[in-house]
A and B are shown apart, each in its own frame.
Chain A
Amino acid sequence: MSQPLLSVTGLGVQFGTFAALQDVSFDLADGETMGLVGESGSGKSTLARAILRLVPATRGRLLWRGEDLLSCGARALRQRRRDLQIVFQDPMASLNPRMRVGETLAEPLKIFEAGLTSAARATRIARMLERVGLSPEMARRYPHEFSGGQCQRIGIARAMMLRPKLLVCDEPVSSLDVSIQGQIVNLLLDLQREFGTAMIFISHNLAVVRHLSHRVLVMYRGRLVEVASRDALFGAPAHPYTRALLAAVPDPTRAFAGRALTTGEAAPAAGRTPPALGGCAFHDRCPYAQPVCLDTVPTLQEVEAEHIVACHRWREVVYS
């Protein structure tokens, strides 16, 4: 296999005494889409932010085409930032309300392509607006004049202005109406195909993740619990938590199957750290839990090629 675009090894993020992220490792190839799922508090956003160096990683390594991202200096990091962009959940809140859309889209060009004339910038902005399904005249307008879906298109345009190699999407469709979500997902897929961008797509909507991911990471209380190709994860999930997540998805075409996890939540209430656990963090909600789950942290084991799971009892789960 050629060198991965991004290689994450043993990544950890500590906030005071709270371990938000522990021992996360995975590789991401050029043009690949990695889905990232888990309940709130599972560390999805922390992982994304640590990769973008928006929160400091306290452990582990981040390699960008083999080059160390964590130890590089401010100047080198600044260069990397043009390759690493993010689209946020709340499209309104992530745009500056006092800036015209054109000014917002001009900023990345002013910083990274300072040599451009203002006419050349205007052309690039107009072309990108058209590319995301808006009209070039909209550059003169302010964010409040747009709907939520249109604002998200602007957020995507801003992120794509510099043709990044990696686009992190943190719940990009969660605050949009169901009728609009498909438009945005299709746009992201089209842009990815056109520019060869790799994506990390964070969502609590598993059906959307299934639609666009090549591989999926499942997180629970700051750790990876399962990594698999899309078909393996949705077809033969090996972790009891993944199964519970899938069972909880409401689907108008089937009877509600919400009985899988009747207690507990992944996130501790605000301001409280979860108890230090010697065992599997999921044991208190797990229908398969045995004594071993209470005192030994499960390591990631191979179910088959490209499918790993952190569960002592995955064989029972798979063959049950």
Chain B
Amino acid sequence: MTPTLAIDALRVGFDSDGGTIAAVREVSLNVEPAECVGLVGESGSGKTQLCMAAMGLLPRGAQVSGSVRFEGREILAASPRDLNRIRGSKLTMIFQDPMTSLTPHLKIGVQLAEVLVIHAQMSWRDAERAALEALERVRVPEPARRLRQYPHELSGGMRQRVMIGMSLLCDPALLIADEPTTALDVTVQAQIIDVLRTMRAESRMAIVLVSHDLGVVAGLADRILVMYAGRVVESASAALLLRHAEHPYTAALLKCVPSLLGPRLERMASIPGSPPAAAGIEVGCAFAPRCPRAQPRCQTERPLLRKASGPPHQVACHYPLSA
């Protein structure tokens, strides 16, 4: 079966005064139909640029190599016309800030209906009916009234529901959600995750969920990829990754999430130092300067992503935790 999204050896770089900045360094990733893949990492790890590449939304100056295929079609070489045909219909994305993703001067109903008028050649009347149904699907209270409102009249959580409703209008094969709950309260975050989970159960849509919060990803993803300095450093099923992390970085990230349930620790865990500058030349393992297990070999030889113990579990580390 063709994967919904197949990324192969993707590199994304940008020119700057200080030389080329490598945002994504050779990432390969498959997303199967109906699968939810979580993408986790600190700011600057390349998560967002990876998504932008998958959407064909990289800025003009970006240097890209490798391949991104959506349902078998190459995205990186696609014409703007072809891209516009699939983006917003079969391939959709929601962002962190739902306020800036909606047009402030158009009513919600118009923004939703427009998608169907353009992509499904519907009449405005039919499109507005479908828009109402879309808001009902994502459990927006008083959907008929919302259609006549402007974005500023809605709360943050309601706007994100509208964005999800909009992204589902044309039965997409893939939804990319880039930090969809980061700007929201915990209670509303739980509601949005719940909406995404329900939508997934009702359709065969695949999801790429990007978040810096392992807790959020744990609630939805089948598989989790951990990124560091533009590379995938660990990849495994969610259950395996959360219980048996192999990469010292993944293990450290998990320790940083303070728990509501466990014993209170004297000091909160953190990872010393900060991620490397993206402009630097890569020698050895990028995490070595912050890694408690680093050995001389880690400074000189870059670890490749390879199979670790058990079922599909990959790790890029010379000294994984089970070794």
Listed in ascending order, the chain A residues whose CB lies under 8 Å from chain B are 39-40, 147-149, 177-183, 185-186, 189, 204-208, 210-211, 234, 244-263, 265-272
Contacts and interface: CB of A to CB of B under 8 A. Distances in A.
A182 B261 contact: no
Query: Which of A149, A189, A250 has the largest number of chain B CB atoms within 10 A?
Result: A250
B83 interface: no
Interface stretch (B1-9, B64-72, B190-198, B229-237): B190-198
* Majority DSSP secondary structure for residues of A touching B: loop
The 5 A-B pairs at the shortest CB distance, nearest first, are namely: A258-B190, A182-B270, A250-B215, A256-B219, A182-B268
B194 A259 contact: yes
Interface residues of B, number: 49
30 contacts: A39-B186, A39-B187, A149-B274, A177-B212, A178-B214, A178-B253, A179-B253, A180-B274, A181-B256, A181-B270, A182-B256, A182-B258, A182-B269, A186-B268, A189-B267, A204-B186, A206-B186, A211-B258, A248-B187, A250-B218, A252-B214, A256-B219, A258-B190, A258-B219, A259-B194, A261-B187, A261-B190, A263-B141, A266-B185, A268-B155
A179 B268 contact: no
Given A40-B185, A258-B191, A250 B216 contact: yes
A177 B42 contact: yes
Contacts of B217: 252
Contacts of A234: 260
Given A186-B267, A252-B214, A178 B187 contact: no
A269 B152 contact: yes
B256 A179 contact: yes
Contacts of A186: 267-268, 270
Interface string B142-156: 000000000011111
B270 A253 contact: no
A249 B261 CA distance: 11
B18 to A, nearest CB: 13
B258 A258 contact: no
A177 B270 CA distance: 10
Contacts of B42: 177-179
Contacts of A207: 257-260
B254 interface: yes
B193 A183 contact: no
A253 B262 contact: yes
A208 B258 contact: yes
B180 interface: no
B189 A210 contact: no
Nearest to B262: A253
Contacts of B259: 207, 251, 253
B34 interface: no
Contacts of B158: 265, 269
A265 B186 CA distance: 10
A211 B191 contact: no
A183 B194 contact: no
Contacts of B272: 183
Given A179-B256, A246-B260, A253 B186 contact: no
Given A182-B270, A258-B193, A269 B153 contact: yes
Given A147-B274, A210-B258, A250-B216, A182 B267 contact: yes
Contacts of B153: 269-272
Contacts of B194: 258-259, 262
A177 B264 CA distance: 21
B157 interface: yes
A148 B158 CA distance: 30
Contacts of A148: 43
A255 B256 CA distance: 18
Contacts of B190: 247-248, 250, 256-261
Given A252-B215, A266-B185, 16 more contacts: A39-B187, A149-B274, A179-B42, A182-B268, A204-B185, A204-B186, A206-B186, A210-B260, A211-B265, A248-B190, A252-B218, A252-B242, A253-B242, A261-B187, A265-B155, A265-B157
Nearest to A177: B42
A248 B186 contact: yes
B252 interface: yes
Contact of A250 (B189, B256, B265, B269): B189
Contacts of A266: 185, 187
Given A182-B267, A270-B152, A251 B260 contact: yes
Query: Which of B194, B254, B256, B260 has the largest number of chain A CB atoms within 10 A?
Result: B260
Contacts of A269: 152-155, 158
A84 B71 CA distance: 59
A226 B242 CA distance: 34
Contact of A262 (B154, B191, B218, B271): B191
